A and B are shown apart, each in its own frame.
Chain A
Amino acid sequence: MKPRKSFRAVFSTVLCVGLASFVFSQDENSGASNGEMEKLQEKVSDLNGQLKGLEESYLETMGTVAKLNKIKVSGYVQAQYRMLMDSAGIMDATGKYAAPAGDFSGGKFSDGTRGLLHVRRGRFKIAYDNGLAQSAVQLDATEKGVGIKDAYLSFTDPWIKSVSLKTGLFDRPFGFEISYSSSSRESPERSRLFQTLFPGERDVGAQLQIAPNERMGMVSYLNLKGGLFNGVGIGVENDDHKDFIGRLGMAIPLTDINLAVDAGVSAYIGTVTNTDTTHASVVRNAANTADSIVNTRGYSYEMIAKAFKKSDDEGMLNKTYERQYLGGDIQIYYDVPVIGGFSFRGEYIQGKQPGTSSSSGFYNPGRNSTSGVYMRNFMGYYFMYVQNLGLKNQLIVKYDSYDPNTDVEGKDIGNTATTKLSTADLQYSTLGLGLVHYWDENVKVVAYYDMVSNEKAGFTAADGKEKYNDDLNDDVLTVRIQYKF
Chain B
Amino acid sequence: MRKTITCLAAVIAIVASLTYAKSSSITVKGSDTMVILSQRWAEAFMAKNPEMSIQVTGGGSGTGISALINGTTDVCNASRPMKSSEREKLKTRYNSLGIEIKSAIDGLAVYVHENCPVTELTLAQLKAIYTGKITNWKDVGGPDGKIILYGRENSSGTYVYFRDFVLEGQDYSAMMQSLPGTAAVVNAVAKDVMGIGYGGAAYAKGVRFVKVKKDAGSPGYEPNAESIKQGLYPITRFLYMYVRSRPTGEIKSFIDWVLSAEGQEIVSKVGYFPIR
Bound: A131/B248 CA distance, A: 39
A435 lies within 8 A of B11 (CB): yes
In the complex, the chain B residue whose C-beta lies closest to that of A255 is B97
In the complex, the chain A residue whose C-beta lies closest to that of B11 is A435
Instruction: List B contacts of A402 (CB < 8 A).
Output: none
Q: Does A447 contact B (CB under 8 A)?
A: yes
Binds B, one of A305-313, A333-341, A410-418: A333-341
Binds A, one of B12-20, B187-195, B215-223: B12-20
Within 8 A of A (CB), among B59-107: 70-72, 83-84, 87, 91-97, 99-100
Q: Does B169 contact A (CB under 8 A)?
A: yes
Q: Does A141 contact B (CB under 8 A)?
A: no
Q: Does A161 contact B (CB under 8 A)?
A: yes
**CB within 8 Å for A260 and B11 given contacts A337-B246, A441-B70:** no
A390 lies within 8 A of B95 (CB): no
In the complex, the chain B residue whose C-beta lies closest to that of A213 is B169
Distance of A24 from chain B, by nearest CB (Å): 26
A258 lies within 8 A of B84 (CB): no
Instruction: List B contacts of A441 (CB < 8 A).
Output: 70-72
Bound: A255/B243 CA distance, A: 13
Distance of B159 from chain A, by nearest CB (Å): 14
**CB within 8 Å for A220 and B84 given contacts A215-B164, A449-B8:** yes
Contact of A258 among B72, B83, B97, B168 (CB under 8 A): B97
B97 lies within 8 A of A391 (CB): no
In the complex, the chain B residue whose C-beta lies closest to that of A345 is B95
Q: Does B208 contact A (CB under 8 A)?
A: no
A342 lies within 8 A of B95 (CB): yes
Q: Does A389 contact B (CB under 8 A)?
A: yes
Bound: A386/B83 CA distance, A: 24
Bound: A293/B4 CA distance, A: 61
Bound: A276/B244 CA distance, A: 56
Distance of B21 from chain A, by nearest CB (Å): 9
Instruction: List B contacts of A161 (CB < 8 A).
Output: 169
B95 lies within 8 A of A341 (CB): yes
A435 lies within 8 A of B8 (CB): yes
Contact of A389 among B4, B15, B169, B248 (CB under 8 A): B15
Q: Does B25 contact A (CB under 8 A)?
A: no
**CB within 8 Å for A393 and B71 given contacts A333-B91, A388-B96:** no
B246 lies within 8 A of A258 (CB): yes
A390 lies within 8 A of B20 (CB): yes
Bound: A440/B97 CA distance, A: 20
Within 8 A of A (CB), among B164-192: 164, 168-169, 171
Instruction: List B contacts of A259 (CB < 8 A).
Output: 97
Judged by DSSP, the binding face of A is strand
Bound: A438/B97 CA distance, A: 19
B97 lies within 8 A of A389 (CB): no
B100 lies within 8 A of A260 (CB): no
Q: Does B27 contact A (CB under 8 A)?
A: no
Bound: A81/B168 CA distance, A: 52
Bound: A318/B56 CA distance, A: 68
A393 lies within 8 A of B15 (CB): yes
Instruction: List B contacts of A131 (CB < 8 A).
Output: 171
Q: Does A53 contact B (CB under 8 A)?
A: no
A341 lies within 8 A of B16 (CB): no
B19 lies within 8 A of A393 (CB): yes
Bound: A441/B94 CA distance, A: 13
**CB within 8 Å for A449 and B16 given contacts A340-B245, A343-B95, A435-B11:** no
Distance of B16 from chain A, by nearest CB (Å): 5
Contact of B94 among A213, A338, A391, A435 (CB under 8 A): A391
A335 lies within 8 A of B15 (CB): no
Instruction: List A contacts of B171 (CB < 8 A).
Output: 131
Instruction: List A contacts of B96 (CB < 8 A).
Output: 258, 333, 335, 340-341, 388
Bound: A391/B91 CA distance, A: 12
In the complex, the chain B residue whose C-beta lies closest to that of A433 is B8
Bound: A485/B16 CA distance, A: 27
Instruction: List B contacts of A184 (CB < 8 A).
Output: 92-93
**CB within 8 Å for A437 and B15 given contacts A338-B248, A340-B245:** yes
B71 lies within 8 A of A341 (CB): no
Within 8 A of A (CB), among B104-148: none
Instruction: List B contacts of A260 (CB < 8 A).
Output: 87, 91, 97
**CB within 8 Å for A438 and B71 given contacts A255-B100, A391-B94, A392-B19:** yes
Instruction: List A contacts of B4 (CB < 8 A).
Output: 433, 449
29 A–B contacts from the bound complex (CB under 8 Å): A131-B171, A161-B169, A184-B92, A220-B84, A251-B84, A255-B97, A258-B97, A258-B99, A258-B245, A333-B91, A333-B96, A334-B95, A335-B97, A335-B99, A335-B246, A337-B248, A340-B94, A340-B96, A340-B245, A341-B91, A389-B15, A390-B16, A391-B19, A391-B244, A393-B19, A395-B12, A433-B8, A449-B4, A451-B1
Residues of A within 8 A of B (CB): 131, 161, 180, 184, 213-215, 220, 251, 253, 255, 258-260, 333-335, 337-338, 340-343, 386-395, 433, 435, 437-438, 440-441, 447, 449, 451
